[in-house]
Amino acid sequence: MIRWKNYYLVIIMMFLGLLISIYLGSKDLKFQSQLIEIKKESIINIHVEEAYNERGIYILNNKYFIQGAAYVLGSDDGLAEDKAIWRPNSEKYYPKISDIKPPFTISKNRNSDTIFVEKYGSKISLLLSN
């Protein structure tokens, strides 16, 4: 004997799950579309108090974002923190912008692919990814 009541309950739960996921996805998309991208053409000079990594982009002060693969050029002067739990011995650590904890000041000139981050009197440069 088939218990249709159980099937109806499963279908209703799946439908509710679909509605919730669509709502949350649209809410996240709306937030990200309001962010200003820091790109080659941008001029920027801001003091960053809050920064976090979200799906490959690094969100600054909930207003700006930069691609998370902006790597440090040269030495990081100890500002970047390696958060990897494990790394193969043959792999080298390459610091990027998401490895630098706020607060810091970030600046960039127009038509330049170099970003400058200043923290504790040290100034490092990062390469803006495409």
Q: What are the tens digits of pLDDT across the range 78-125? A: 777 777 778 888 888 788 888 888 899 999 999 888 889 898 888 888
Q: What are the tens digits of pLDDT across the range 66-84? A: 887 788 887 767 777 777 7
Q: What are the tens digits of pLDDT across the range 1-47? A: 567 777 888 888 999 999 998 888 777 666 677 888 888 888 999 99
Q: What are the tens digits of pLDDT across the range 39-64? A: 888 899 999 999 888 878 889 998 99
Q: Alpha-carbon distance 91 to 65, whole Å?
A: 28
pLDDT at res. 29: 66
What are the phi and psi torsion angles at 11 (to 5°)?
A: -65, -40
Task: Check: CB of residue 33 under 8 Å from CB of residue 122.
Answer: no
Burial of 89 (0-12, 13-18, 19+ CB in 10 A): exposed
Q: Alpha-carbon distance 105 to 92, whole Å?
A: 27
pTM greater than 0.85: no
What are the phi and psi torsion angles at 48 (to 5°)?
A: -95, 120
Q: Alpha-carbon distance 12 to 28, whole Å?
A: 25
